[in-house]
Amino acid sequence: MYWLVDKRESEHRPLSIAAAADRIHWRNLLNFRHEYWYITGLCVTFYSVIFPFRSTFAIKYFQEVRGLTLEDASRMNSYVFMAAIVAMPAFGALADRFGRHALLMMLGSLPLSLVFPLVGYANVNLWIPTALLGLSFSLVPAVLWPAVAHYVSPEQRGTAYGLMGMLQNVGLTLANVLAGYLNDSNHASAAHPGGYAPMMWLFGLLGVMGFLFATLLKWHERSAQHSQ
């Protein structure tokens, strides 16, 4: 269906515009602005926390450290994704209406840096860090992926998205392997719940790094505005 729509549109598109859009300058493919690399850094660190923790380790952690049953731990884990069903489109609409991509990414990545100290050391009700994680998972992706097109020229967008996706998956792989290694080497289990602490530090530090990348993006934008 998309191919049919695109074919129809291309028939009515002026040839000069089509030619300009199709022209590729290979030497410029990796010549991205600073903002793109900050967004990529946020993407890698953010997803290296969200998916390894929630998809691989969270349910076992909730069972062995917090004493939840398998059913309760699975249900608690699912609430993050359930929240995104409603909140992510709303945050996307907010970004479309008001812009402020860097500010929104800062606001979205900040809760992620608070989740793991709360889960690991504050002994608060799991609803609180789960709500923060749901907020972060709803806000950051809704703004991050569209923002790439805002900072990258049209002829570079395919490369930009492809490179960011590749680096994202490298981060996912390394984070999963490293977290698993930390758990194994520290004998993390129900009998030794303290062995999960290094993993929680890893995810907490990655969350802080994500917030720093978003802060650098905001700072760079502000500096560029002042210099104009």
Set out the domains of the chain in order of their start, with CATH numbers: 33-227 (1.20.1250.20)
Average confidence (pLDDT) over 175-201: 94
Cα 170 from chain centroid?
Answer: 14
pTM metric for this prediction: 0.83
pLDDT digits 0-9 by tens, 20-60: 445 555 666 668 888 999 999 999 999 999 999 988 899 99
Give the residue among 89, 82, 214 at the shortest CA–CA distance from 142.
89
Query: Would the CA dihedral through 133, 136, 142, 144 be positive or negative?
Result: negative
Measured in degrees and rounded to the nearest 5, phi and psi for residue 86 equal -90, -45
pLDDT at 79 over 60: yes
Lowest mean per-residue pLDDT among 84-98, 130-144, 163-177: 84-98
* C-alpha–C-alpha distance, residues 94 and 91, integer Å: 5
Structure confidence by residue, pLDDT tens digits, 90-132: 888 888 888 788 888 999 899 998 999 888 887 788 888 888 8
Biggest CA–CA distance in the chain, Å, is: 69
pLDDT of residue 227: 61
Q: Which amino acid is at 137?
A: F
